[in-house]
Structure 1
Amino acid sequence: MAARGHGPGGAHDAQVRRLRDLLRSAVLRGRFDGGQLPGEAELMASYGATRATVREALDLLRREGLIDRRQGVGTHVVVNAVLARMAEAHGAADPMADSIFNRRMRPRVLDRSEVPLPAVAAERLGAPPGAPCLRLEYVALVEDEPTALATNYVLFPEGERLLAPPFDSDWYALLREAGLRFGESEFIMGCSAADPATASLLAVAEGAPLITFEQVIRDPDGRPFNLAHIHTRGDRFLFVSRAVRATP
């Protein structure tokens, strides 16, 4: 039966979009040996696509900065995406596990200073505006490549304990080294286009899509003490979330 309801753009645009999505998934998950994609003829046969569809899908990936195409050389992957479980992103994974948030990430600190708590942050943390807090802002690097920009507002006394310890790995390692424990981590996730300053810090084009997180961390008694705004490169991180339906 013929497919119906292609909507705006028509059947050809839909085929390009779907092939782009399939190839994007394979690229980011490292499914091509040596990072080399099959030739156009093989992709046409594998996906039942026309040459025009294959070329347009590959061009979309090239414009995203995921692949490079050179005549006589072929098509190669130019990214090394990180696959991370959401429990790792929350800081709830085993600290001894081989996690991207366990000694495989390092920060480039942009700001680490005591500041008055901004009003919006105060509302999220249930604290008085203008109260002393630590503002700690950094670019997270993986293999020396910028992957995320994070701005944290940490209430005192926790913030005071984070002023001095060396910050040479991930955020959760810093909390552990300062002797801080937390009971809950909450994310609100969205997306945004990279503004000029963020684009420069993350080495992406202005307007590039970024995954955004607003994170609130609570202590073991349920008191919120940390608010973070995080902008993450979607072409460098894949977050895995898994849920199992409860048996009635």
Structure 2
Amino acid sequence: MRLYAAVVLITVCAVASAAEPARGPAPKPNCLDARSMSEARQASDRSLAVMQADGRRFRLELGEDCPAAVADEQASVLAREGWVCGTGNEYLRSGQRLCPVSAVTEIDAKAYAELALASHRRHGEVATLEAVEVRAEKRRGFGGSAQYCLNPRYMRGWNEDGKGLVVEVSPQRSGGNRYYRVELAHSCPELFDATTIELRSGMGISAVCGNPGDVVVAVPEMRAGEGIARSGGALSRIQCPIATVYPIDK
């Protein structure tokens, strides 16, 4: 399965010598630590989704249109001591171009997933899921897309929690994530009566991300005295379109 890999930005900072003072703390609580960025995805000409190695997620807004800001694999961030806070004099350098950073906002898993999906769709691409395995609670081979995709093969269980559908997966195969929120494109009350569900990719791939055609297939509970619609001898199945997938804590 081909992965549309995130472009990892390289932070350009002066290398501190032993005689130089240690790096200072972040000027503001919501500053992005560019030295620990693990991936960046461009959602629009002026907006990027960036993740740190510690799992914190950010949206970077640029002060001007930079449609290919992370197309260059050597793209870099220029910021004092590597802290990007949106306070000015901070730039994303791509090739010979400097794109000013105008704002930095810490975001949640849902917002990150939406921006990451937008980065694929703006190029007509399909979000895919890289093989991810975790051993001894250490992340290995983390490819980023486990932040907005899941592999139905590793689903262990599911439930409705009043806010929507929550799916439990194998964390060893899902970038360390155990639970995912699967948001639907519209209300699907049939899930309340479902005895089993299936997550199905509309692209025929081993990842459900909110791509076009991704659905939850629900098999309703059969109650005494009620007829069940059949098609070709099979129990009626209801398909609920998936809008977004993202990991949650529980």
- TM-score between the two structures when normalised by the length of structure 1: 0.29
| Structure with a larger share of its residues in helix | 1
- TM-score between the two structures when normalised by the length of structure 2: 0.28
| Structure with a larger share of its residues in strand | 2
